[in-house]
Chain A
Amino acid sequence: MLTLIGIVIVVIGFVLRINPLLVVTVAGLATGIASGLGPLAVVAAFGKAFITSRYVAIVWLVLPVIGLLEHAGLKERARAVVAGLRGATTSRILLAYFAIRQITAALGLTSLGGHAQMVRPLIAPMAEGAAENQYGELPEPTRYRIRAHAAAVDNIALFFGEDIFIAIGSILLIKGFLDQNGIHVEPTQLAIWAIPTAICAFVIHCTRLLLLDRRLRAELEHNSEPA
């Protein structure tokens, strides 16, 4: 029971907005000690897990390129391109990205997106640019909200598209786990049963995106009215 203390620490730490790195470390040490491991063993386990998951950081390799391009005006160019598109609103851009991301994920091309590679350099500026085109200079909170939506679209489209692809990690995990418990399932079946949820995700979130457009209009329309 005491091993649950790690969870408690994490929850309290996040609620109190203490630096997450500190919270996670303390929670990890507490859990390890509560489960009977000596302190040194816990630190070693921590170190080992950290090193084994270094591949996660490969994403940061894109920063030099993206930084370079941004210095040369990538975001401004993205906004200019959007300005040239007729009928481009924030929602339509995000909707299009949602569809592209979800469909390509369902086809197994899960790397065709990403926060460092796509959202920051391209999608977020485009969405912001569309709003700027329609309504002029945007107040900061609106900018932030549009960017947050861009990131959300990337996540949601990915999560609920990728399980339709047979060779994706989650399906392999499910199959492996059930196999170990003596239950045989077909990956294709697992993929098919992901489809209803994927459709729901599309409908639900795209509705919200369209509502976003309406909300932007309500908030910002009065800005572009003549004085």
Chain B
Amino acid sequence: MMAGVSIVNWRDRSNPRRLNNTAFWGIYAVTFLVGSHLPDLANGFLVIAMVVVASVRGLGQGKQESATREEREASARRWGNKLFIPALAIPFITVLGTVLFKKITIDGTPVVDLKQVTVISLAIATLVALATGMVMLRPPLFAPIREARRLLDAVGWAAVLPQMLAALGALFAIAGVGNVVSGLAQRWIPLDNPFVVVTTYAVGMAAFTMIMGNAFAAFPVMTAGIGLPLIVQKFGGDPTVMAAIGMLSGFCGTLMTPMAANFNIVPTALLELPDENAVIKVQIPTALLLLGANILLMNFLVFRR
């Protein structure tokens, strides 16, 4: 599977616009092609090399569009709604794969590792869609790669950001950042008012999610630091309600942080928006209102027991 991705990246890089682009994507391709066989230290240095390339001179972009607007509109008229077939095939087949793979087993063991089902289905769906597109449109053989390079150049280094943040999260975990934070929280909040504690938990989930970039990393820290000892044990709250709404409060934080690159930064690059934080800015009012709603909901519902 990784080979598929690496081949796309690798062939991409055969048409660089500038040396920096080649270097950046080339190194990235290497991590896909041989990363599993390299020692951790080597991989670490590869990552650092990528970052240096991206920061020192920045990545460039080639010519923007590969066809003029008139050409595209003419083509659109010619193909009509058939253009949607490969596009919609992707989610459709992904879902199909996800459902089927869970059921297909050989001798009782699943054909595909269950945890990777969605990802693998997506890969298969993409390949099928690509094949369909190639058959239907009959473009020159290298057209998909050329177009992919155009899009990927537009996205730029943001493409790598989600993985980098995952790496950062791992380092935070190793360093025990979470425990330090929850320790601090416990020392500073007044422990006798249930409303304050609930609010601190919810806001803490959102804030820590903003720092860590995803709610999954924030949840164990906040719940162990504040939720369980205070809300559940001290004030007798219902852990189910607390955990469910707590996680959702974390999601409010996800909406507001550039650390959630997959959701907030990659789209601005994909949609070619000049403001990196455009999506976040749109989401902030909803996120804050929802956080308030969550706090109220938790306060009313968690102590019903």
A residues with CB within 8 A of B: 1, 3-4, 6-7, 10-11, 14, 17, 19-22, 24-25, 27-28, 31-32, 34-35, 37, 40, 42-78, 80-81, 109-122, 124, 144-145, 147-152, 154-156, 159-160, 163, 169-170, 173-174, 177-178, 181, 183, 185-186, 189-191, 193-194, 196-197, 200-201, 204-205, 208
Contacts and interface: CB of A to CB of B under 8 A. Distances in A.
A44 B286 contact: no
Contact of B216 (A6, A71, A169): A169
Given A4-B181, A68-B139, A25 B48 contact: yes
A63 B148 contact: yes
Q: Is the interface of B mostly helix, strand, loop or mixed?
A: helix
Interface of B: 1-2, 4-5, 8-9, 31-32, 35-36, 39-48, 50-51, 54-55, 58, 66-67, 69, 71-81, 83-84, 86-87, 90-91, 94-95, 98, 116, 118-119, 121-123, 126-127, 129-130, 133-134, 137, 139, 143-148, 150-152, 157-172, 174-177, 180-181, 211, 215-216, 219-220, 223-224, 228, 232, 239-241, 243-245, 247-248, 251, 254-255, 258-259, 261-268, 270-271, 273-276, 278-279, 281-283, 285-286, 289-290, 293-294, 297, 301
Given A69-B83, A200-B297, 11 more contacts: A3-B175, A10-B211, A10-B259, A44-B40, A46-B171, A50-B44, A60-B152, A72-B72, A118-B91, A148-B279, A193-B240
Given A7-B177, A72-B76, A111 B95 contact: yes
A78 B32 CA distance: 34
Contacts of A120: 267, 270-271
B254 A151 contact: no
A197 B32 CA distance: 39
A54 to B, nearest CB: 6
A77 B289 contact: no
Given A54-B35, A73-B83, A111-B122, A148 B165 contact: no
Contacts of A204: 286, 289-290, 293
A78 B145 CA distance: 23
Nearest to B211: A7
A53 B162 CA distance: 9
Contacts of B44: 42-48, 50
A191 B95 CA distance: 21
B168 A27 contact: yes
B240 A152 contact: no
A136 B118 CA distance: 41
B5 A57 contact: yes
A193 B282 contact: no
Nearest to A154: B267
16 contacts: A22-B51, A24-B164, A25-B48, A52-B170, A60-B152, A61-B8, A68-B130, A72-B75, A73-B79, A115-B271, A119-B270, A151-B271, A173-B216, A181-B224, A183-B239, A190-B244
Contacts of B147: 63-64, 66-68, 70-71
A49 B217 CA distance: 14
Contact of B241 (A51, A112, A181, A193): A193
Contacts of B224: 181
Contact of A193 (B151, B157, B245, B267): B245
Contacts of B278: 144-145, 147-148
Contacts of A20: 158, 161, 164, 258, 261, 265
Nearest to A74: B83
B290 A119 contact: no
Contact of A148 (B45, B261, B273): B273
A64 B228 CA distance: 48
Contacts of B261: 20
A145 B275 CA distance: 10
Given A64-B144, A170-B247, A115 B270 contact: yes
Nearest to A200: B293
A144 B282 CA distance: 11
Given A71-B66, A151-B271, A155-B263, A62 B177 contact: no
Given A111-B122, A178-B243, A4 B180 contact: yes
A21 B75 contact: no
Contacts of B134: 68
B94 A111 contact: yes
A72 B66 CA distance: 10
A188 to B, nearest CB: 10
A66 B151 contact: yes
